[in-house]
Each structure stands twice: as structure tokens, then as C-alpha cells.
């Protein structure tokens, strides 16, 4: 009988944990826990797979399909909208027990507009299942989730799903993964038949066939490998050993001395190399046809790490105060958290969510210590709160619990003063040094639209909701455009914005209309200029006078992340030259006005550093107003010399089309400034991959459907912001300035 811990290297684990104070019972229970995510390209079958996992682990009694196949929809797609559209919008957490292992699972959305959900999940998980479609292989979102997994060093198992589909080709999928993701991977299973003849699986390690009998594939039957596949099975085993030997010294030794490793040795080697991110075991099956899922669960227990084996969950934790508790003198010193329930509590809130059924929930992962319903401190705000309720999540239901131990994932039910990404510790006499878990990657919001409530009486509730959505989702924003007085929402794509408008209506009964979505251009500068600027204004009464000296320069920008696009204003001059309060007027004008709406088209300004290092004051006429106006006029006067321009979001685009339509679609894409980077033909279906500016893609779906008689589809995802060609930038500026009644700006 299979014992999941057979391949755990206990000696190493004990060495690693020798300095822990935790009890053996705690260590044993943590060794049996897994926190995993399931991530993939859209529609690869993540929710379908999770549904099977819940069924086989006894968590649900009946399997429900996604997309209205049955009356209720999949368990994890608990939002009405998810069930209707057959897509996952929010990541959902659940937990289940497989043999001796407790598994926390997060099913994440595949659609790129909800990428932040994947980011958040991977940030706190210890391992992942990277799902691929046996027909599509590596698709655009597969590349993204792979990048996200790498960012947090998440060990993974690859599961090639949809083996029952026509044109299923696992060899091609693996080859694509090896080439495109650059991963060291090998099959640990082979398929017996494909498409409608997909019957079962060959376990390459144990050299046996596995079939899934019964209505839901719940009865596992082991058998001899069919004779026509014996050679393939032996070859695959050899190939697997060779791959493992490349990255594991124990296997290398056996391989070189031509000694056959035992089954246990192979499992142990796969576990070591998977956890070290040197190898990815590849499995296959069909979630929909109930084949292969139980073996995948075995592999989760066997090969993915337990919380003890992932220091800090794979990211940096930094001390936020010095020894005297002085927060201004922050020490950016990485430190290590220990998965030990006896150490001081450190937990991170990775997601906030409000649903009508559960109310407000703050998902968190406990990294160190244990959490109870006692006073906690939010390290970012310094504020304390007591969790109203501690709960375990299962889709949209909650189960109250008393205590959560290190290594576990749970939620605080109730609205507490926290945002996604906050670190919490126990309040009161601080135990241990306050630390902060590092922020996660948040991509810039690339699209915006005006939004208007249909019924004025809903205005206050509407605003409240919008702010609540913003707290839940850092890739969604809501603000008032001071120039046009319109309410604006920003997000990752049209679907993203649409979903929030739908949620307003369905969940809160607020009807709102959104305007035509527009692209979020940003204003940047290209060169550094010193300034020595005197401002004078005499208008009847008291005059205004200010003298400011310093420089404005472009900062290095990382145009792929929201954080990398920050501005900075600094001042370093004597109080005798410019009083501190007036230095603040300079800083304030940049931070509150100039950076929010640039001169080119009123778009936010990115990557500007303004520095004040001198100047002068007039006894009577130098005040806040004078220095504020001086700063504004300086910016407007100096701007042409700073060689400003616009940057625009560039997207990676993947089009899946019938092969005979490939040329037509590629031509249409090229008309939209698209550059085709790769095409691949897989029988009657083909894929075109390329990149283009987001603003050329509006209405593309209509043209694509026309060209492919409704059979083509595409997905795109944000890649980075890039500078725009001058003629295009000028055109976009003229259009938007005219539309919004702003004065025109001429790029030189």
C-alpha cells in the first residue's frame, strides 16, 4: 500500500528543524500538510480537476461540471457569474485530506485579467500543479504562470489534462514545455491510447498499467502493461532515470554504476529534485473523464514540499524596525521564519474578499507561531485588532476554528483594518522582532473607462463598494478625474472592468454604466535638466515670489510593474534659502498634482525625480501659494526640454485558429501593428503568437470571429509599457485632448 511519506528525507528534515522548539506531534502534522495551487492557461480544466479532487477526497458527494453542464455548476466556481460564464474569476481556497495528507488547495483563474489572483496564490503556496491542455500544450498563460511560479520559486508537478480530446498530443506538450519554459521535465506516466481511445495510464516508475473503473473512475485497477506498450514503458523509465541523474547525485551514482534504483529511491530522487526546482515530473490524464486524478494526488503528497521544507515560503522577509523599535530607521535585513508553532506569530494576509454569503474574509498564511482569536498587530499600520472569527474556507462556505498553526492557510472572517500583503503579528509585548513579508508583484493597470451610476440615490453605496473592490484587488482602481469630473475605473482588461460592473448589479443592486474603455497611456521624460527658476506674480494686492533651484531627471523605470514606475521628489536645501514649509510646497505640488495628470494628455506621469537643492525667499511675498505656483510653472516651462513622450501597454497575443485561416488572421494582426513571433500547426488547429500595442486590439475579436467563421479565439496579456512612436503619440494626445476639452500639446 502506498505510504506518502516514504520518500521524505527525515534525516535532512530533522537536521533542518533541529533548532525548532516545536513538538514532535506538530512536526509530524506539518510534514503531512501541503499548500498547493492549480494554475494554467484559461480553460485548461483547473476547476474540473479541483472538482474531482474534492470528490475523491470525500469533500463533496457529487461531481458538478463547469459551464452549466448541470444545474449547479462546479463547487469552486461559487460566484453566480463564474457558473454562468464557466470561468473562474476569483481564486477559491479549500482543504481536503488525501490518505494521511492535509491539502490546502487554491484554484486560480486562468483568464489574464485576473492574474493578480494567481500572483497572490503562488505567493503563499509551497507547491503547484501546472496544468496543460494535451492539445494546446504551452499556451500564453502557461508562460505567465510559469514565470509567476519561478518568481516565488514554487516547485511544481506538471499535469497534461484533456487526454481524451481529439489531437491530444502529450509528447508535443512536453517538448513545448522543455523548449519554451526551459524546464527539466520527464514523463513519469504514459498514456494508453489518446482521444476517445484514452483508456488508462502507465506508471513508468512501477512499470504497471492503471485503469480507472466505476462511474466516476473511483475504482483503481492495476494491471500488466499492454504488450504493445512494453518497450515504450521501459524506454520512458530509462529516460526518467537519465534526467534525474543529471540533477541528483544519488541517482547519478546508481546510473553510472548501472544499478537499477528501487521504486523508493526513484520517488525520493523525484522529491529532492522537484523541491530543489531542478526537475518537474510530468503526469497525464483527463479530469473530465475521471482518469488520473488520484495518481496526481499521490504525487502531490509524494513530491511537493511540506511547509517545513520551504523557508519563508520562498520569499524575503525583512525586519522593519531596529533594536530600539525605531520605525524610521528601517533595517532592510532579510531574515528567516521558522515553521514552528512555538515561535512568535508571523502571518501574511494575501487576499481580501467580500461575498454575500461569508461577509468579509481576510485569507492568510501563518508562517511562524500560531494564531488564535487574540489581539494582533498589523505591522504596516501599527494598528491592533482582534480577529472576530478564525475560519477555514471551502469555496464560499466557512468553518469556524480556534487555532491555526504555522504552515497553514486560513481566514479571518470580519472586516479588519488590513490590506492585501499586510503582515500581522501578536500584539502586546512584542515577541520577536517585527518583520514584514515582502510585497508581491502587481502589474500596472492598462485600461480605464468612465463609470456612472444610473440612479443618483445609489451614489454613496456605489462609492463604498468601489473602495471595497479596490481593497480586494490591487489591479483595480477607482477615482474621480479632477479635470473632467468623471468617475474612472482602471483595470487589467475589458472583462475585468465588466465583471466589477456586473458584480455591482448582481450582488449589491447598483446599476452603473461604463463608457468606452480606453488605454492607459503614461507620460515620461527622457533627459535630465537643471533649473534655476524665479517666479514673480503681481496681481493687485500682495505679490508672489519664489526662487527655486535643482534638477529634474528621469528615473530608471521597470515598465512591467506598477512598483517600478514610481516618481520621487526630494529636497536638500538650507532653511535660510528656502524654509522647510516652502520646500514642502514644492514637494506637495509634484506629488498631489503634477504626477497625477501630465501636460501631454492629462495622463499620470511615471519615473520622474524632482530635486530641490536651493533657492531664495522674499520677506513678504514668499508663501505656500507662491512656491506652489512656482513649481507648477517650472514644470510647464521646463517640460519641452525634458523631451517628454508617451508610453503605452504592449501585449503578448495568442490566437488559436483553424489552420486554413492562419494567413488571413496573421494579415489582420499585422494590420494592427502586430508582429507575429511564432506559428505552430497542430493538425486542423493552429496557433499564432505575437505582440502588439493594446490600443490596436479593440474590436479584434469581432474581426477574428468573422475571419474564422466563429471558430477562432484569442487571449492577450500585458507584457510591458513601451515608448510610443512620436507620430502615434501626437495623434493619441490630440484625440484625447480634444475629447476632454484640454489644450493641445505639441511634441517637439
Ligand X SMILES: Nc1nc2c(ncn2[C@@H]2O[C@H](COP(=O)(O)OP(=O)(O)OP(=O)(O)O)[C@@H](O)[C@H]2O)c(=O)[nH]1
Query: Which one of the spans 26-34, 106-114, 120-128, 577-585 is the region binding ligand X (CB under 6 A)?
Result: 106-114
Q: Residue count at the site for ligand X (CB under 6 A)?
A: 24
Alpha-carbon separation of residue 735 from 511, 602, 649 (angstroms): 30, 12, 18
CA dist., res. 109 & res. 301, Å (int):
23
Cβ 649 vs Cβ 721: under 8 Å: yes
Q: What is the rounded CA–CA span in Å between residue 644 and residue 730?
A: 11
591 binds ligand X (CB under 6 A): no
Is 371 annotated to bind a ligand? Reply is no
* Selected range binding ligand X among 160-168, 276-284, 429-437, 698-706, rule: CB under 6 A: 160-168
One residue of 39, 48, 102, 520 binding ligand X per CB under 6 A: 48
Give the residue from 363, 306, 361, 362 showing the smallest Cα distance to 339. 306
Give the chain's end-to-end CA distance (angstroms, integer): 76
Q: How many CB atoms lie within 10 A of CB 263?
A: 13
Residue 624 annotated in ligand binding: no
Distance CA 453, CA 563 (A): 31
Strand order in the sheet with 101-107: 92-98, 101-107, 33-40, 127-133, 156-161, 280-284, 185-187
CB of 728 to ligand X, least distance (A): 33
Q: Is 95 annotated as a binding residue?
A: no
The one among 7, 44, 75, 589 contacting ligand X by CB under 6 A: 44
Please classify residue 597 by burial: count the beta carbons closer than 10 Å to its beta carbon, then call 0-12 exposed, 13-18 middle and 19+ buried: middle
Helix (H) / strand (E) containing 546: strand 544-554
Binding residue for ligand X (CB under 6 A) from 45, 137, 313, 474? 45
- The span of 86-94, 175-183, 249-257, 425-433 binding ligand X (CB under 6 A) equals 86-94
Taking CB under 6 A as the criterion, the residue among 4, 73, 109, 200 binding ligand X is 109
Rounded to a whole number of angstroms, the minimum distance from the CB of residue 77 to ligand X is 7
Instruction: Based on the shown chain and the rule CB under 6 A, indicate whether residue 110 belongs to the binding site for ligand X.
Output: yes
Answer yes or no: is 267 a known binding residue: no
Cβ proximity to ligand X, 53 vs 268, nearer residue: 53
Report the nearest approach of ligand X to the CB of residue 89 (Å).
Answer: 8
Give the whole-angstrom CA distance, residue 223 versus residue 214: 16
CA atoms of 452 and 501, how far apart (whole Å):
10
Among 16, 80, 81, 86, binds ligand X (CB under 6 A): 86
* C-alpha–C-alpha distance, residues 147 and 156, integer Å: 12
Q: Is 690 annotated as a binding residue?
A: no
Residue 717 interacting with ligand X (CB under 6 A): no
Residues 641-670 that bind ligand X (CB under 6 A): none
Q: Residue of minimal CB distance from ligand X?
A: 110
Minimum distance, C-beta of residue 652 to ligand X, in the bound complex (Å): 17
Q: To the nearest whole angstrom, how small is the minimum distance from the Cβ of residue 715 to ligand X? A: 10
Closest CB to ligand X among residues 66, 345:
66
- Does position 193 interact with ligand X (CB under 6 A)? The reply is no
Q: What letter would DSSP give residue 6?
A: G
Contacts of 396 (CB under 8 A, 6+ apart): 78, 79, 92, 355, 357, 358
Q: Is 83 in the site for ligand X (CB under 6 A)?
A: no
**Closest separation in Å from C-beta 291 to ligand X:** 8
Site for ligand X in 260-299 (CB under 6 A): 286-288
**Is 66 near ligand X (CB under 6 A)?**
yes
Piece in contact with ligand X (CB under 6 A), picked from 107-115, 411-419, 640-648, 727-735: 107-115
Identity of the residue, 118 or 524, whose beta carbon is nearer to ligand X in the bound complex: 118
How far, in Å, CA of 581 to CA of 124, rounded?
A: 43
What is the DSSP track for 34-48? EEEEEEESTTSSHHH
Kindly state the smallest distance separating residue 500's Cβ from ligand X, in Å.
17
What is the edge-to-edge ordering of all strands in the sheet holding 334-335? 334-335, 317-319, 435-437
Q: Closest Cα to residue 100, out of 310, 297, 395, 340?
A: 297
Considering the rule CB under 6 A, would residue 87 count as an interface residue with ligand X?
yes
Stretch of 103-111, 236-244, 344-352, 683-691 lying at the interface with ligand X (CB under 6 A) = 103-111
Contact 80, 178 (CB under 8 A): no
Among 7, 161, 339, 487, binds ligand X (CB under 6 A): 161
Q: How many CA atoms lie within 13 A of 538 on its CB side?
A: 0
164 is in an annotated binding site: yes
Q: Output 112 or 348, the one with its CB closest to ligand X.
A: 112
Q: Is 162 annotated as a binding residue?
A: yes
- Which region among 38-46, 391-399, 578-586, 609-617 touches ligand X (by CB under 6 A)? 38-46
Binder of ligand X out of 34, 59, 64, 165 (CB under 6 A) = 165
Q: Which three cell numbers stand for residue 507?
A: 450582488
Choose among 685, 350, 642: nearest CA to 523.
Answer: 642
Q: Is 282 helix (H, G, I), strand (E, B) or coil?
A: strand
Report, in Å, the least distance between residue 649 CB and ligand X.
Answer: 22
What single string gives the DSSP state of each residue in 198-211?
Answer: --EEEETTTTEEEE
Q: Which is nearer to ligand X, 117 or 599 (CB)?
A: 117
Chain contacts with ligand X (rule: CB under 6 A): 40, 42-48, 65-67, 86-88, 109-111, 161-162, 164-165, 286-288
Give the residue ranges of the annotated binding site: 40-47, 107-111, 161-164
Amino acid at each position: 500500500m502506498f505510504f506518502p511519506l516514504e520518500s521524505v528525507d527525515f534525516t535532512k528534515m530533522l537536521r533542518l528543524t533541529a533548532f525548532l522548539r516545536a513538538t514532535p506531534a506538530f512536526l509530524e502534522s506539518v510534514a503531512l500538510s501541503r499548500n498547493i495551487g492549480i494554475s494554467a492557461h484559461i480553460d485548461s480544466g483547473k476547476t474540473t480537476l479541483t472538482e474531482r479532487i474534492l470528490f475523491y477526497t470525500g469533500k463533496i458527494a457529487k461531481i458538478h461540471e463547469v459551464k452549466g453542464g448541470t444545474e449547479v455548476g462546479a463547487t469552486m466556481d461559487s460566484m453566480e457569474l463564474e457558473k454562468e460564464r464557466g470561468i473562474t474569476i476569483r481564486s477559491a481556497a479549500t482543504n481536503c485530506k488525501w490518505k494521511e495528507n492535509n491539502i490546502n488547495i487554491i484554484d486560480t483563474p486562468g483568464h489574464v485579467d485576473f492574474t493578480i489572483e494567481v500572483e497572490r496564490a503562488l505567493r503563499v503556496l509551497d507547491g503547484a500543479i501546472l496544468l496543460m491542455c494535451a492539445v494546446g500544450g504551452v499556451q500564453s498563460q502557461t508562460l505567465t504562470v510559469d514565470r509567476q511560479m519561478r518568481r516565488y520559486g514554487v516547485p511544481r508537478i506538471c499535469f497534461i489534462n484533456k487526454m481524451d480530446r481529439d489531437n491530444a498530443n502529450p509528447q508535443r506538450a512536453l517538448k513545448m514545455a522543455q523548449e519554451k519554459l526551459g524546464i527539466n521535465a520527464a514523463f513519469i506516466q504514459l498514456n494508453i491510447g489518446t482521444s476517445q481511445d484514452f483508456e488508462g495510464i502507465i506508471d513508468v516508475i512501477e512499470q504497471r498499467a492503471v485503469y480507472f473503473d466505476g462511474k466516476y473512475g473511483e475504482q483503481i485497477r492495476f494491471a500488466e502493461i499492454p504488450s504493445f506498450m512494453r518497450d515504450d514503458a521501459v524506454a520512458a523509465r530509462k529516460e526518467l532515470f537519465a534526467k534525474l541523474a543529471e540533477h541528483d547525485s544519488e541517482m547519478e551514482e546508481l546510473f553510472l554504476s548501472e544499478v537499477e534504483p528501487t521504486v523508493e529511491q526513484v520517488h525520493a530522487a523525484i522529491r529532492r529534485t522537484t523541491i530543489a526546482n531542478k526537475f518537474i515530473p510530468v503526469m497525464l490524464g483527463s479530469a473530465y473523464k475521471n482518469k488520473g486524478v488520484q495518481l496526481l494526488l499521490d504525487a502531490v503528497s509524494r513530491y511537493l514540499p511540506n511547509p517545513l521544507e520551504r523557508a519563508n515560503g520562498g520569499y524575503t522577509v525583512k525586519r522593519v524596525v531596529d533594536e530600539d523599535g525605531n520605525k524610521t530607521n528601517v533595517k532592510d535585513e532579510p531574515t528567516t521564519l521558522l515553521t514552528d508553532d512555538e515561535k512568535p506569530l508571523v502571518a501574511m494576509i494575501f487576499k481580501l474578499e467580500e461575498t454575500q454569503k461569508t461577509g468579509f474574509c481576510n485569507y492568510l498564511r501563518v508562517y511562524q507561531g500560531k494564531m488564535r482569536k487574540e489581539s494582533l498587530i498589523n505591522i504596516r499600520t501599527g494598528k491592533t485588532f482582534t480577529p472576530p472569527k478564525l475560519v477555514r474556507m471551502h469555496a464560499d462556505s466557512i468553518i469556524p476554528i480556534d487555532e491555526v498553526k504555522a504552515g497553514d492557510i486560513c481566514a479571518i472572517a470580519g472586516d479588519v483594518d488590513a490590506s492585501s500583503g499586510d503582515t500581522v503579528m501578536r500584539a502586546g509585548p512584542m515577541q520577536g522582532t517585527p518583520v514584514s513579508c515582502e510585497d508581491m508583484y502587481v502589474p500596472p493597470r492598462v485600461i480605464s473607462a468612465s463609470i456612472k451610476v444610473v440612479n443618483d440615490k445609489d451614489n454613496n453605496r456605489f462609492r463604498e463598494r468601489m473602495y471595497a473592490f479596490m481593497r480586494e484587488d490591487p489591479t483595480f482602481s477607482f477615482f474621480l478625474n479632477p479635470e473632467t469630473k468623471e468617475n474612472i475605473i482602471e483595470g487589467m482588461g475589458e472583462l475585468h472592468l465588466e465583471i466589477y460592473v456586473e458584480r455591482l448589479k448582481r450582488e449589491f443592486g447598483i446599476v452603473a454604466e461604463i463608457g468606452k474603455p480606453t488605454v492607459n497611456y503614461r507620460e515620461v521624460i527622457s533627459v535630465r535638466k537643471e533649473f534655476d527658476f524665479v517666479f514673480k506674480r503681481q496681481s493687485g494686492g500682495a505679490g508672489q515670489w519664489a526662487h527655486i533651484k535643482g534638477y529634474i531627471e528621469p528615473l530608471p523605470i521597470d515598465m512591467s510593474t506598477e512598483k517600478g514606475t514610481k516618481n520621487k521628489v526630494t529636497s536638500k536645501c538650507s532653511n535660510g534659502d528656502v524654509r522647510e514649509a516652502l520646500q514642502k510646497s514644492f514637494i506637495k505640488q509634484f506629488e498631489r498634482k503634477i504626477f497625477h495628470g501630465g501636460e501631454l494628455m492629462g495622463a499620470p506621469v511615471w519615473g520622474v525625480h524632482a530635486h530641490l537643492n536651493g533657492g531664495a525667499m522674499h520677506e513678504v511675498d514668499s508663501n505656500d501659494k507662491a512656491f506652489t505656483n512656482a513649481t507648477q510653472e517650472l514644470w510647464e516651462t521646463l517640460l519641452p526640454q525634458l523631451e517628454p513622450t508617451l508610453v503605452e501597454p504592449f501585449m503578448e497575443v495568442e490566437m488559436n485558429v483553424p489552420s486554413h485561416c492562419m494567413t488571413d488572421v496573421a494579415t489582420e494582426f499585422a494590420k494592427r501593428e502586430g508582429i507575429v513571433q511564432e506559428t505552430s500547426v497542430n493538425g486542423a488547429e493552429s496557433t499564432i503568437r505575437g505582440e502588439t500595442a493594446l490600443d490596436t486590439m479593440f474590436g479584434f475579436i469581432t474581426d477574428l470571429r468573422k475571419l474564422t467563421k466563429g471558430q477562432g479565439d484569442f487571449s492577450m496579456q500585458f507584457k510591458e509599457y513601451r515608448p510610443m512612436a512620436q507620430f502615434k503619440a501626437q495623434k493619441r494626445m490630440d484625440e484625447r485632448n480634444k475629447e476632454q476639452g484640454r489644450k493641445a500639446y505639441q511634441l517637439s
